Copies of this chain bind each other. A is one copy, B any other.
Amino acid sequence: MLIRQLYDHDTFSFSYLLADLQTKTAMIIDPVKERLSLYLQLLEEFELSLHYAIDTHLHADHITGMGALREATSCKTLVGQSSKMDCADEQFADNDIIHCGNIILRALYTPGHTNDSYSFYLEENNGMPPCVFTGDTLFIRGTGRTDFMGGSSEDLYNSLFSQLLTLPDHTIVYPGHDYKGMNQSTIGEEKQHNPRLQVKNWQELAAIMDGLNLANPKKFTVAISANAKCGEVP
């Protein structure tokens, strides 16, 4: 079992290559279109067959590499059933299991950043601690924003407290972005030290989120329309 965290410097985005080295099958979570050659290089070096390209949600800050990977490798593209991405081959719902070789990934519906946000949980395996790929729902010492695309601070609060924070404390958190220089954490650590998880109710979280006043991401318009077509730029 191989997990590789890959970084797109231009958009501060993490993608994840997950591979079962026995069956030589792999999936990539949240691929970035401009990093296609890196993904293909790693697939070739590890002699992997890519089964799935998966997005945690319809991204507004980078163009998904799902379509480009499908074209290059014939993999299937997967998105959550709440995503408006008709281009995808298959959809998953809350608690669905995604199999890839011996990798068993559980989809968790975690709306809040957007109304189509999912996280993915990988159980403890062969001494490797459990992991959760949190997309833009939970960042290290932060969270995704909630001010567009069906975002909701109440949903985010529920996704964090009723879904992600109920995972074992030693679960490794692999986020969708990093802006601060940290690339890994644990659920226990975030519970204790993430400022947005020190709130008592969703209204307190909403007060934090409402005060952020963030500008739209640089690629906002082009990303949303392209990503609805799995990354095809008109």
Q: A residues within 8 Å of B by Cβ?
A: 4-9, 12, 35, 38, 45, 127, 178, 180-184, 189, 192-193
Contacts and interface: CB of A to CB of B under 8 A. Distances in A.
Number of copies: 2
A181 B127 contact: no
A184 B4 contact: yes
Contact of A38 (B4, B8, B180): B180
A73 to B, nearest CB: 18
Contacts of A4: 182, 184
Given A9-B9, A127-B127, A38 B193 contact: no
A31 to B, nearest CB: 11
Contacts of A184: 4-5
Given A127-B127, A183-B183, A178 B45 contact: no
Contacts of A35: 181
Nearest to A13: B181
Nearest to A35: B181
Given A35-B181, A38-B180, A183-B183, A192 B45 contact: yes
Contacts of A7: 178, 181-183
